[in-house]
């Protein structure tokens, strides 16, 4: 599963803005996206114009329909992560 090699049943869920997340924050976002969408896989999408920012999530083999509320929740989670410890996830090192 990769955004570079999408498979049937894969979708990009873009954010309205990009959020500065480090690798720990990126992993937390991917885990949350998998749990929220019941997806088999998730990959954070880096912004083309600023690779330090995450601009969405790529999910594959969903187990639940992606609603506007789910997409909004994912972006809210990314925004919250960016505000915590400089984008390092949920506050642990």
Buried b (16+ CB within 10 A) or exposed e, 9-39: ebeebebeebbbbbebbbebbbebbbebbeb
- pLDDT per residue as tens digits for the range 38-49: 999 999 999 999
pTM, two decimals, is 0.86
The reply to whether 4 falls in a domain is no
pLDDT for residue 82: 92
| pLDDT value at residue 8 | 67
Q: Quick one: pLDDT band at residue 53, thresholds 50, 70, 90?
A: very high
Residue span of the structural domain in which 58 resides: 10-83
The pLDDT of residue 66 is: 87
Give me the helix-helix angle, 23-37 and 68-83, nearest 10°: 160
Whether 3 is in a domain gets the answer: no
5 in a structural domain: no
Tokens 């992606």 belong to 66
What confidence score (pLDDT) does residue 93 get?
47
pLDDT tens per residue across span 64-78: 888 999 999 999 999
Q: 3: closest CA among 80, 60, 48?
A: 60
* 93 inside domain: no
pLDDT of residue 63: 84
**Domain tally for the chain?**
1
């Amino acid at each position: 599963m990769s955004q570079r090699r999408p498979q049937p049943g894969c979708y990009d869920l873009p954010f309205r803005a990009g959020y500065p997340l480090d690798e720990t924050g990126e992993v937390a976002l991917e885990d949350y996206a998998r749990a929220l969408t019941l997806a088999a896989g998730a990959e954070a999408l880096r912004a083309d114009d600023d690779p330090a920012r995450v601009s969405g999530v790529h999910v594959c083999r969903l187990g639940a329909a992606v609603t506007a509320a789910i997409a909004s929740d994912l972006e809210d989670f990314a925004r919250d992560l960016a505000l915590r410890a400089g984008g390092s996830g949920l506050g642990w090192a």
